[in-house]
Amino acid sequence: MHISEGILSAPALTVGFAGTAVLAAATMRNLDMEEVPKISVITAVFFITSLIKVPLGPASIHLILNGLVGVVLGWRAFPAIMLGIILQAIIFGHGGVTVIGINSLMLGGGGLIAYLVWQQRHRFAFKKREFVFGALAGALATISSGIVLAIALVTTGEAFHAIAATVLAAHLPIMLIEAAVVGACAEFLQKVKPDILAGQQAVKKAG
Partner 1 sequence: MALDIDRYAHTASPLQRWDPRVKIFSMGLLILSIALLKTIPMAVSALLLALVILGVSALPRHFLVHGLSFVLVFLIPFFLIMPFTYPGEAAFSILGLPFAWEGLRLASLIFLKALAIVMITFAIFGSSRFDISMLALQHLKCPKVVVQMLLFTYRYTFVFLDEMRRMHTSMRARGFVARTDLKTLRIFGHFIGTLLVRSFERTERVYKAMLSKGYQGELHLLVTFQSAGSDYIKAFVIISIAMIIMYGDLGGGLHTAEQGWY
> What is the H or E stretch that residue 47 is in?
helix 35-49
Of the pair 51, 206, the CB lying nearest partner 1 is at 51
Which sign, positive or negative, has the C-alpha torsion 96, 169, 153, 25?
negative
Does the protein bind partner 1 through residue 162 (CB under 8 A)?
A: yes
Does the protein bind partner 1 through residue 92 (CB under 8 A)?
A: yes
Find the part of the chain contacting partner 1 (CB under 8 A) among 40-48, 116-124, 139-147, 198-206. 40-48
Find the part of the chain contacting partner 1 (CB under 8 A) among 48-56, 111-119, 121-129, 142-150. 48-56
Find the part of the chain contacting partner 1 (CB under 8 A) among 95-103, 113-121, 146-154, 199-207. 95-103
Does the protein bind partner 1 through residue 200 (CB under 8 A)?
A: no
Does the protein bind partner 1 through residue 127 (CB under 8 A)?
A: no
Note whether 18 and 119 are within 8 A (CB).
no
For residues 13-32, which are near partner 1 according to CB under 8 A?
13, 28, 31
Nearest to 74 by CA among 166, 196, 188, 185: 196
Of the pair 193, 205, the CB lying nearest partner 1 is at 193
CB 109 to partner 1: min, Å: 18
Taking CB under 8 A as the criterion, the residue among 124, 125, 126, 158 binding partner 1 is: 158
The β-bridge relationship of strands 53-56 and 59-62 is antiparallel
For residues 19 and 105, give the distance between their C-alpha atoms in angstroms, rounded to a whole number: 7
Does the protein bind partner 1 through residue 2 (CB under 8 A)?
A: yes
Does the protein bind partner 1 through residue 94 (CB under 8 A)?
A: yes
For residues 75 and 59, give the distance between their C-alpha atoms in angstroms, rounded to a whole number: 34
CB 191 to partner 1: min, Å: 9
For residues 183 and 188, give the distance between their C-alpha atoms in angstroms, rounded to a whole number: 9
Does the protein bind partner 1 through residue 192 (CB under 8 A)?
A: yes
Number of residues that bind partner 1 (CB under 8 A): 72
Question: How buried is residue 98: exposed, middle or buried, by Cβ count under 10 Å (0-12/13-18/19+)?
Answer: middle
- H helices of 60-200, in order, are 66-73, 77-91, 100-119, 129-156, 161-192
Taking CB under 8 A as the criterion, the residue among 119, 129, 196, 199 binding partner 1 is: 196
